[in-house]
Amino acid sequence: MGSNADILKDDIRMARLKGSSPMAIRTADAILQDAEEAFAEGSFRNQLKDMIQQLGVDIIASRPSNVTLRNSVKNTLYKLEKVDDSDDARVLEVVRGNVAAFKETVNTSAQKIALLGANIINDGDLILTCSYSAMVKGILDMAYNQFGKHFRVIVTETRPRYQGMKMANELIELGIPTTVIVDSAVRLFMKKIDLVLVGADTVSSDGSVISKIGTSLIALAAQEARVPVYVATPTFKFSEDTLSGVMVDIEQRKPGEITGGTVLEYVEDINLTVENPAFDATPPEYVRGLITELYIMSPYSVGEYLARLSGVID
C-alpha cells in the first residue's frame, strides 16, 4: 500500500532502527511521505483518509508492544476522524500539521531531557548504560561536551543484536571515554558504578519500565549495590492502555538471532527450544527516577499522570 511504510515495517522487524524516539519520527515521516505520493498520483482519490488510517494500523501491527510506535501513529492521525472522507487535500493538510507538531514535540522533549539528565551527572562519575537510547546519548553528550563534566561510561554489549556496541561507537565519536563489557559482567562491575542511566521502550501505569532485555537484571544488581537507576524517557512513552489493566506484550524475536554463528544449529525440534524476548520489565522500586521532559518523576506517579491526562481524574 505504501512503499515508505513497507520499508519502515521491514526495518522495525529486522531491528535496524536505533532508539524508539528516532523510530517515532521515522514512523510519522513514512506515513506522510506515502500520503503525499498517493495524493500526487491520485491513486487513492477520495480514499486517502482510509489509506492513511490503514497504514497506521499496519505499522502498529509490526510491533504491537511498542507504545512509542503506537503513539507516533496516534499523533500523526490526530483529528483525522473529523475530516470529510472525500476531502483528500484537507486530509493531507491535517497529516502534515500533525507530523510537524509531533516531530517538534519529540525534539523538544529530547533537549529538555538532555538538560535535566546532565544535571544529575557529577565529575568523576562512572556511568553504566545498556542497549541504544537516543535520550541517554543526548544526556551524556550534553553533560560531557556542553557542561564540560568529565566521566566515563560502561556499556553492555546487549546481545543478541549488540545495540550496546552501536551506542559505544557513537559515544566514542562524541569523545566520551567508553568501555564495553559483556552482559553477564554487570554484577562484577556494579560495585564501581556511580549511576545507572538507561532508556525505555514503554512505561506502564504502575511505574514498571519496559526496556531492552537485561535491563531488569542491571537494575537488580544496582539495587543490591545501592546504585541509583535513572530512566530517560519522554512522557509519550507512557502507556495509557495499562490504566485499564492491559498488559504490555513482550516481543519474541527469532531464535536465529541467538544461535546464529554459534556451534548450536537451531532447527525446530522437540528437544530444543530457544527463547528470545526483546524486552523485560523493571519494577518501579528499582528506579530512582524517570527523567522526562517535564521533570524528574517518581515511577510511582506515572499512574496519576496518565489518569489526569486521560481525564479519569481531575
CATH code at position 86: 1.20.120
Domain stop point among 78, 110, 142: 110
CA 224 – CA 278 distance, rounded (Å)? 24
**pLDDT above 90 coverage of the chain, percent:** 54
One domain, residues 136 and 285: yes
One domain, residues 148 and 219: yes
Nearest to 282 by CA among 235, 229, 237: 229
One domain, residues 135 and 242: yes
In this model, does residue 287 exceed pLDDT 90?
yes
Mean pLDDT of 66-93: 85
One domain, residues 178 and 211: yes
- What pLDDT does 63 receive? 73
CATH number, domain of 187, equals 3.40.50.10470
Per the structure, the complete domain to which residue 54 belongs is given by: 3-110
One domain, residues 149 and 105: no
Half-sphere exposure of 287 (CA within 13 A, CB side): 31
**pLDDT above 70 coverage of the chain, percent:** 95
Domain stop point among 83, 110, 137: 110
264-282 pLDDT, tens digit per residue, is 877 776 688 889 998 999 9
Do the domain assignments include residue 40? yes
**Helix, coil or strand: residue 187:** helix
Domain stop point among 85, 110, 135: 110
CA 85 – CA 90 distance, rounded (Å)? 9
Residue with the larger pLDDT of the pair 4 and 124 = 124
Do the domain assignments include residue 115? no
Mean pLDDT of 142-158: 98
C-alpha cell at 105: 514535540
Residues 6+ apart with CB under 8 A from 241: 67
| Domain total of the chain | 2
One domain, residues 76 and 104: yes
One domain, residues 139 and 13: no
Mean pLDDT of the chain: 89
The amino acid at 287:
V
In this model, does residue 156 exceed pLDDT 70?
yes
